[in-house]
């Protein structure tokens, strides 16, 4: 039995806050898009809300390379837009590299986009200005940030990403893969702490995808930058250390990969348990066991059992 | 920035071309118009007799008044008067002195019915050349020397050396002179020194002849009799412009106030102020009409440029959004977008401004301000647009689910525009257009904008109805086209705001041009009285009339006698003008022309109201007859009664000094020349029309109206084309998708046509309705008769056909363009 003094000491100990040391933190993040319903004449219609993110929790450590996967409309791109400072969440907490994305002023937000994050879009043509050379595209963020144009760094980045020979070429003279690698160099131009990539290999064939992903992984390893990649591409999602699944605006699963002693990759998929104790069961598990509306839980010594409720509402044995 | 522009060079070039052309128009058109206004002022002065335009200080003394002194003192007095001239008048008067002293007219006692005036004129020595005898010398006792005009002396039979006995003194003719060519001002003021004036004064039984002769200055200046001193300051017609006309008018009033002294008999004799008033009244109306149209043009041009700027901003939006996402601040992005627009707009405006200097005309402030404001507006609009579009860094807006709510600010603005438009026109109706109030002249434009705002609000209503109707049908093209039109409703504000004023003001402009043309034609007919008019100062032989009737190319000839008479009314008689003509034949001659003639009474004459109290009276010309009034006539074509009464009697056989003819003018000329080698004046309607239309203010207005109307049409079409092109990517995507589903090229064209037709049709209808309604709304404010010399208050002519043709032309070109463009969009993608 602990003594009263022990309990008092225990209560006095400050426990670390949720995700206190995480490089990227999302806690109960909500993003709602609203339509303003009209109330005039025959055009009368009710206001419509689309909840893109509904209480999403996410923790990413510094230097991690993770993939985010999910069905179309699950909220992946919204999450990435929020993390890049391009979109503002409706509620919750979002912090990237120690900066609170909800309370940032516009000046902070600008500094955040200039120095903290780099962004890569899916469309290869959208990442680069077509009338600038690859090197000029890389130096553009430096100019925009008001920094001295460091051509050596630009060349170094292009070298690191394997497109050094393309420095003087314009995007129209580059292949899709080369354009995406130049885009990674552009995203890295101002030495950001986080790289956010939205389907960076979405428009590429599998070989080129592999090259682009390798380039990203190289940047992650060489520069220690945290990489968050939204993807549908298994060649990407199956090669990262952690893959986070998003469903209906919430993180639903995490797949962790580690290398076994024999050199093979072991992938273990986990359901995500949020701080309120909510858990999303995989849909195919639920379908298989015809689970709906209610399940029966049983606390065992080292686990919790989940059983489908029987038709009469009684648990099956 | 340059590379950004190079990547979008097509749109950038379009923007530059638009700014350049508008800048040129805004800078050159006022110069051109101002030059025409100046020419109008100068033509008015140069066409007026110099004695009306010059400033004449006149001093009439009585018998017992002390003379002013010798010639030296009189000449020195001219300098005194000139120091009294207000600065505006000093700038427009010549330094040349024109001073005279004359004594009252004296009866020549030793000659029958002849009178003589002795005068001294300052510059006579350079205006006359003695051809016989010598110039007059100083007075010797009671005898003056006098020089007479040789033709006048010959006419009355006076020779050098003759002594003319006057009342109390005599005048010896010492020399005869002839006028020197080039001394126009002298002879304009002292025409009586060169000829014999014949007149029949009231009460006189015989014609009297009046002569004027030059004599020695000091002799006449010191004579104890009634003297008239005149100091003329002639006006440099080229120095009076539209800009100083008002100052000249008020300067005359000021000068009159300074010099006039009824006690000492000094007065200012000039019609310059009246001429200036006449000019300024017409100038105010011209300027206001032009302001209405230019205001419309500027709004339409601004709208078109705004569309081009928006197109450019949309084209660079992706690039700027990428920069924004890569860390560019709003200021950087706005500077980049605005700088790109400025790089095109500012040099283009400058080139347009410089090119305007190729157009002759004075430089008014608008020439400098217009292009500068234009460039500023283009750059400002671009800045606002880019800043608005990139205020938030996320380019991927959820437009699919986020709909804009009608902003209360916009509703308030729309209500304000409508209220201003309606209120402005109401004010205009009550106060008239020629009030020189620049804000009031913007009322029609505000009304056009108000109509555009209402159209934008009303536009979706018929569209929804049409969409519902077509949704039930089987034709996919019509349903899809109208649905696309309905979806495009949010982006049509700018095109409608540019197109509707263009159509309404353009329609109004074309109707006004036609109205002026009609009024001028009517005035020309009114002035001549027939297609061709032949006037002779004596009776026309009957055989010439018959010969003209037989001449090929001449359709009809109506002889008439037109002349002044003294009707035997009252003790002294009443001056009147008589027209003796076969009215029925004359009516047939001018049938189909704008002239309306009174019907001939069964018997008797038509008279003006001044004579209507008489039951009958006699006239002695064209023959002695008794006139029995049978009807009232107010005016008669081709006859200027100058405020006197008019008597229209039946034609007198064998008596005619005027021929009213329809047919070929050349045939008439050659026939008249053959039958009557001299003395015939032939005037035609076409000639008169050229004269009226060539009047600088009228021609400036018509030219201005044409230029503005055509420019409105062109800019309206460019505006429609830009609006069409702006939606091209979206349209091409839709067509590409539909092509996969089986859309044919023809269906694509129909689809595009139906997409643009509702807006174009509704805007055209609203624009034309307003354009046709504007003359009625403006009412008596715009009196086009003033441009034709017709009497004020002649009903304004507002033909509808030109307005309809203008709008139909613009709408048709736009629709054909969109139909062809629709096919192109489809083929470009398939």
pLDDT at A110 over 50: yes
Residue A42 has pLDDT above 50, yes or no: no
Q: Are B565 and B619 in contact (CB under 8 A)?
A: yes
**Which chain B positions have a beta carbon within 8 Å of A48's beta carbon?**
401
Q: CA-based Rg of chain B, rounded to a whole angstrom? A: 36
Residue of B nearest to A51 (CA): B401
Facing B326 at nearest CB: one of A50, A109, A144: A144
Chain B residues lying within 8 Å of A104, measured CB to CB: none
Which among B122, B124, B147 is positioned nearest to B134, based on CA atoms?
A: B147
More confident residue, A301 or B224: A301
pLDDT, average across residues B244-266: 86
pLDDT value at B805 more than 50: yes
pLDDT band at B779 (very low <50, low <70, confident <90, very high): low
Q: How confident is the model at residue B526 (pLDDT cuts 50, 70, 90)?
A: confident
Output the pLDDT for position B310: 84
Question: What is the mean predicted confidence (pLDDT) over B518-522?
Answer: 83
Closest chain B residue to A121, measured at CA: B322
| pLDDT at residue number B147 | 92
Q: How confident is the model at residue B640 (pLDDT cuts 50, 70, 90)?
A: confident
In the prediction, which pLDDT does B778 show? 67
The strand pair at B625-627 and B208-214 is best described as unpaired
Q: A120 to chain B nearest CA, in Å? A: 10
Q: What rounded mean pLDDT belongs to chain B?
A: 81
Task: List the single best residue of A49, A72, A86 to mutate versus B (max B Cβ within 10 A).
Answer: A86
- CB-nearest partner of B403 from A35, A42, A114: A35
Cβ distance of B328 and A144 shorter than 8 Å: yes
Q: What is the DSSP string of B628-692?
A: -EEEE-S-BTTB--TTSEEEEEPPPTT--SEEEEEE-HHHHHHHHHHH--SSEEEEEHHHHHHHH
Angle between helices B245-259 and B272-315 (to 10 degrees): 150
User: By mean pLDDT, which of B465-474, B574-583, B670-679, B811-820 is the weakest?
Assistant: B811-820
SS3 per-residue string spanning A3-65: CHHHHHHHHHCCCCCCCCCCCEEEEEEEEEEECCCCCCHHHCCCCCEEEEEEEEEEEECCCCE
SS3 B795: coil
Q: Residue B828 — very low, low, confident or very high, per pLDDT cuts 50/70/90?
A: very low
- Residue B119 structure tokens: 């005068």
Q: Please give, rounded to a whole number of angstroms, the shortest distance from the CA of A55 to a CA of chain B.
A: 20
Instruction: Please give the residue that has the higher pLDDT: either B575 or B525.
Output: B525
The confidence score (pLDDT) of residue A41 equals: 42
Percent residues over pLDDT 90 in chain A: 2
Stretch B95-108: mean pLDDT, rounded? 87
Q: What is the mean pLDDT of residues B818-827?
A: 55
Are residues B402 and A35, on separate chains, in Cβ contact within 8 Å?
A: yes
Domains within chain A, CATH numbers bracketed: 62-89+101-271 (3.40.50.300), 281-317 (no CATH)
Q: Is the CB of A140 less than 8 angstroms away from the CB of B393? A: no
Residue A39 to residues A46, A233, B410, B413, B487: CA-CA distances in angstroms? 8, 45, 17, 20, 19
> Which ipTM score applies to this complex?
0.71
A47–chain B Cβ distance below 8 A for any pair: no
Residue B351's pLDDT band, with cuts at 50, 70 and 90, is: very high
pLDDT for B402 beyond 50: no
Single out the residue of A114, A86, A115 nearest to residue A101, CA to CA: A86
Nearest to B212 by CA among B98, B107, B105, B99: B105
Q: What is the pLDDT of residue B790?
A: 59
Of A36, A113, A190, the CB nearest to B393: A113
* Over residues B19-26, mean pLDDT: 88
Closest residue on chain A to B3 (Cα):
A131
Tokens read off for B398? 């959820």
Q: Which of A157, A145, A146 shows the shortest CA–CA distance to A182?
A: A157
As a whole number, mean pLDDT of residues A6-33 equals 78
Q: Is residue B131 over pLDDT 70?
A: yes
Residue range B724-734, pLDDT digits in tens: 777 777 777 77
CB contact under 8 A, B6 and A131: yes
Residue, of B435 and A255, whose pLDDT is higher: A255
Q: What is the DSSP letter of B164?
A: E
Whether the per-residue pLDDT at B801 is higher than 70: the answer is no
Interchain contact, B325 vs A129, CB within 8 Å: no
Q: Where are the domains of chain B?
A: 1-48+280-394, 54-279, 407-526+688-830, 538-678
Look at residue A43 and tell me whether its pLDDT is greater than 70. Answer: no
CA B709 distance to own-chain centroid: 16
Give the model's pLDDT for residue B406: 62
Give the one of A50, A131, A144 whose C-beta lies nearest to B327's C-beta. Answer: A144
Question: What number is the average pLDDT over the span B43-47?
Answer: 84
pLDDT band at residue B203 under the 50/70/90 scheme: low
Cβ-based burial of B44 (10 A; exposed 0-12, middle 13-18, buried ≥19): buried
- Smallest CA–CA distance, residue A119 to chain B, in Å, is 8
Q: Residue B453: its pLDDT value, please?
A: 83
Residue A313 has pLDDT above 50, yes or no: no
> Does A179 contact B at CB distance below 8 Å?
no
- Name B136's Cβ contacts closer than 8 Å, sequence gap at least 6: B144, B145, B146, B147, B174, B175, B213, B214, B215, B216
Percentage of chain B modeled with pLDDT above 90: 4
Confidence check: pLDDT of B366 > 50: yes
Q: Are B717 and B810 in contact (CB under 8 A)?
A: yes
| pLDDT value at residue A317 | 46
User: What's the average model confidence in pLDDT over B658-676?
Assistant: 86
User: Average pLDDT in the B53-80 region?
Assistant: 81
Q: Using one digit for the tens of pLDDT, what is the confidence trace for B690-717?
A: 888 777 777 877 888 888 888 888 888 8
Q: What angle in degrees, to the nearest 10, is found between the helix axes of B272-315 and B9-47? A: 180
Over the stretch B157-194, which tens digit does the pLDDT of each residue have? 888 888 888 888 888 999 999 888 777 778 888 888 88
Residues near B600 by beta carbon (within 8 Å), at least 6 away in sequence? B582, B583, B584, B587, B650
Task: State residue B400's pLDDT score.
Answer: 45
Residue of B nearest to A107 (CA): B329
* Cβ atoms A272, A247 nearer than 8 A: no
CB contact under 8 A, A131 and B394: no
Distance from CA of B518 to the nearest CA of A (A): 49
Evaluate if residue B565 carries a pLDDT over 70.
Answer: yes
Among the listed residues B590, B729, B597, B714, the one whose alpha carbon sits nearest the alpha carbon of residue B660: B590
Residue B401 has a pLDDT of 45
**pLDDT tens figures, A48-76:** 677 888 888 888 888 888 999 888 888 88
Q: Which pTM was predicted?
A: 0.72
d(CA B36, CA B47): 16
Contact assignment for B325 to A34 by CB distance below 8 Å? no
* Cβ neighbours for B693, distance < 8 A, ≥ 6 positions apart: B517, B520, B699, B702
Instruction: Write out the two tokens for B619.
Output: 């006239």
Count of CB contacts below 8 A, A vs B?
A: 68
Cβ A34 vs Cβ B405: under 8 Å: no
């Amino acid at each position: 039995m602990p003594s009263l003094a022990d309990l008092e000491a225990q209560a006095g100990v400050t426990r670390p806050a949720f995700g206190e040391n995480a490089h990227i933190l999302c806690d109960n993040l909500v993003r709602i898009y609203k339509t303003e319903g009209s109330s005039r004449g025959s055009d009368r219609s009710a206001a419509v809300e689309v909840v893109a993110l509904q209480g999403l929790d996410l923790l990413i450590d510094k230097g991690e390379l993770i993939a985010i996967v999910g069905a179309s409309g699950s909220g992946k791109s919204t999450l990435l837009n929020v993390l890049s400072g391009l979109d503002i969440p409706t509620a919750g907490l979002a912090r990237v590299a120690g900066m609170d994305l909800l309370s940032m002023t516009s000046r902070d937000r600008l500094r955040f986009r200039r120095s903290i994050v780099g962004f890569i879009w899916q469309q290869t043509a959208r990442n680069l200005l077509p009338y600038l050379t690859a090197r000029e595209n890389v130096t553009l963020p430096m100019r925009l940030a008001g920094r001295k144009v460091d051509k050596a760094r630009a060349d170094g980045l292009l070298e690191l990403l394997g497109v050094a020979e393309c420095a003087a070429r314009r995007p129209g003279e580059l292949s899709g893969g080369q354009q995406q690698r130049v885009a990674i160099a552009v995203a890295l131009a101002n030495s950001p702490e986080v790289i956010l990539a939205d389907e960076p290999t979405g428009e590429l064939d599998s070989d080129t995808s592999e090259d682009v992903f390798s380039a990203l992984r190289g940047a992650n390893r060489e520069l220690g930058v945290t990489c968050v990649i939204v993807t549908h591409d298994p060649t990407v999602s199956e090669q990262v250390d952690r893959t986070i699944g998003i469903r209906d605006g919430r993180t639903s699963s995490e797949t962790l990969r580690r290398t076994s002693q024999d050199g093979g990759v072991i992938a273990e998929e986990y359901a995500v348990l949020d701080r309120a104790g909510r858990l999303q069961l995989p849909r195919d598990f639920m379908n298989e066991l015809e689970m709906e509306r209610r399940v029966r839980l049983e606390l065992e010594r080292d686990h919790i059992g989940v059983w489908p409720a029987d038709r009469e509402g009684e648990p099956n044995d | 920035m340059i590379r950004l522009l190079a990547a979008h060079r097509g749109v950038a070039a379009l923007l530059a071309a638009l700014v350049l052309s508008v800048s040129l128009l805004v800078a050159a058109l006022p110069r051109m118009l101002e030059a025409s206004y100046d020419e109008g002022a100068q033509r008015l002065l140069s066409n007026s007799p110099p004695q009306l335009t010059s400033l004449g200080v006149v001093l009439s003394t009585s018998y017992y008044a002390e003379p002013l002194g010798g010639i030296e003192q009189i000449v020195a007095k001219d300098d005194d008067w000139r120091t009294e001239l207000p600065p505006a008048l000093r700038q427009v008067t010549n330094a040349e002195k024109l001073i005279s002293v004359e004594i009252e007219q004296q009866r020549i006692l030793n000659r029958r019915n002849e009178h003589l005036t002795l005068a001294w004129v300052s510059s006579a020595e350079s205006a006359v050349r003695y051809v016989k005898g010598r110039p007059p010398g100083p007075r010797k006792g009671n005898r003056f020397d006098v020089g007479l005009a040789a033709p006048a002396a010959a006419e009355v039979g006076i020779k050098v050396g003759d002594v003319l006995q006057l009342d109390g003194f005599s005048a010896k003719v010492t020399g005869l002179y002839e006028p020197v060519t080039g001394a126009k001002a002298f002879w304009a003021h002292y025409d009586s020194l060169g000829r014999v004036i014949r007149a029949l004064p009231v009460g006189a039984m015989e014609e009297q002849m009046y002569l004027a002769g030059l004599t020695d200055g000091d002799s006449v200046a010191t004579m104890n009799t009634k003297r008239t001193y005149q100091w003329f300051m002639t006006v440099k017609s080229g120095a009076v412009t539209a800009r100083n006309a008002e100052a000249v008018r008020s300067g005359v009033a000021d000068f009159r106030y300074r010099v006039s002294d009824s006690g000492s008999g000094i007065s200012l004799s000039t019609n310059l102020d009246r001429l200036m008033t006449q000019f300024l009244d017409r100038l105010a109306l011209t300027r206001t009409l032009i302001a209405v149209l230019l205001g419309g043009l500027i709004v339409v041009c601004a709208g078109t440029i705004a569309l081009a700027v928006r197109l450019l901003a949309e084209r660079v939006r992706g690039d700027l959004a990428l920069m924004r996402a890569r860390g560019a601040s709003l200021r950087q992005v706005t500077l980049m977008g605005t700088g790109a627009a400025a790089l095109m707009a500012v040099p283009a405006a400058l080139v347009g401004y410089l090119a305007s200097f190729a157009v002759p005309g004075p430089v008014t402030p608008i020439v400098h301000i217009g292009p500068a404001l234009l460039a500023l507006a283009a750059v400002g609009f671009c800045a606002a647009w880019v800043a608005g579009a990139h205020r938030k860094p996320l380019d991927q807006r959820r437009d699919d689910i986020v709909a804009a709510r009608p902003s209360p600010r916009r509703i308030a603005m729309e209500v304000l525009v409508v209220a201003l438009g309606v209120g402005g026109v109401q004010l205009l109706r009550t106060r008239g257009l020629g009030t020189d109030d620049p804000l009031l002249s913007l009322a029609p434009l505000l009304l056009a904008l108000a109509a555009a705002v209402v159209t934008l609000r009303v536009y979706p209503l018929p569209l929804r109805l049409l969409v519902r109707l077509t949704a039930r049908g089987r034709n996919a093209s019509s349903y899809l086209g109208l649905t696309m039109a309905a979806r495009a409703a949010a982006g049509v504000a700018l095109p409608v705001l540019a197109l509707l004023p263009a159509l309404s003001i353009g329609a109004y402009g074309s109707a006004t041009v036609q109205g002026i043309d009609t009024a001028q034609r009517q005035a020309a007919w009114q002035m001549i009285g027939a297609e061709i008019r032949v006037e002779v100062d004596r009776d026309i032989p009957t055989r010439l009339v018959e010969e003209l009737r037989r001449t090929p190319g001449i359709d009809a000839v109506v002889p008439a006698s037109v002349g002044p008479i003294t009707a035997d009314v009252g003790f002294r008689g009443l001056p009147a003008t008589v027209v003796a003509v076969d009215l029925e034949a004359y009516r047939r001659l001018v049938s189909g022309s704008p002239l309306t003639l009174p019907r001939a009474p069964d018997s008797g004459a038509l008279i003006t109201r001044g004579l209507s109290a008489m039951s009958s009276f006699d006239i002695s010309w064209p023959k002695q007859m008794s006139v029995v009034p049978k009807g009232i006539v107010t005016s008669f074509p081709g006859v200027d009664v100058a405020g006197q009464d008019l008597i229209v009697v039946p034609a007198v056989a064998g008596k005619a000094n005027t021929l009213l003819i329809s047919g070929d003018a050349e045939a008439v000329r050659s026939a008249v020349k053959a039958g009557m080698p001299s003395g015939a004046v032939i005037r035609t309607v076409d000639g008169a029309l050229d004269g009226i239309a060539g009047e600088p203010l009228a021609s400036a207005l018509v030219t201005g109206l044409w230029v503005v109307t055509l420019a409105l049409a062109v800019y309206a079409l460019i505006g429609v084309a830009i609006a069409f092109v702006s939606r091209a990517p979206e349209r091409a995507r839709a067509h590409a998708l539909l092509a996969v589903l089986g859309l044919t090229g023809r269906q694509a064209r129909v689809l595009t046509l139906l997409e643009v037709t509702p807006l174009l049709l509704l805007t055209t209808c609203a624009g034309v309705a307003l354009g046709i309604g504007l003359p009625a709304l403006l009412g008596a404010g715009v009196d086009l008769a003033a441009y034709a010399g017709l009497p004020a208050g002649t009903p304004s002519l507002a033909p509808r056909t030109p307005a309809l043709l203008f709008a139909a032309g613009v709408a048709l070109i736009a629709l054909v363009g969109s139909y062809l463009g629709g096919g192109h969009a489809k083929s470009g993608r398939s």
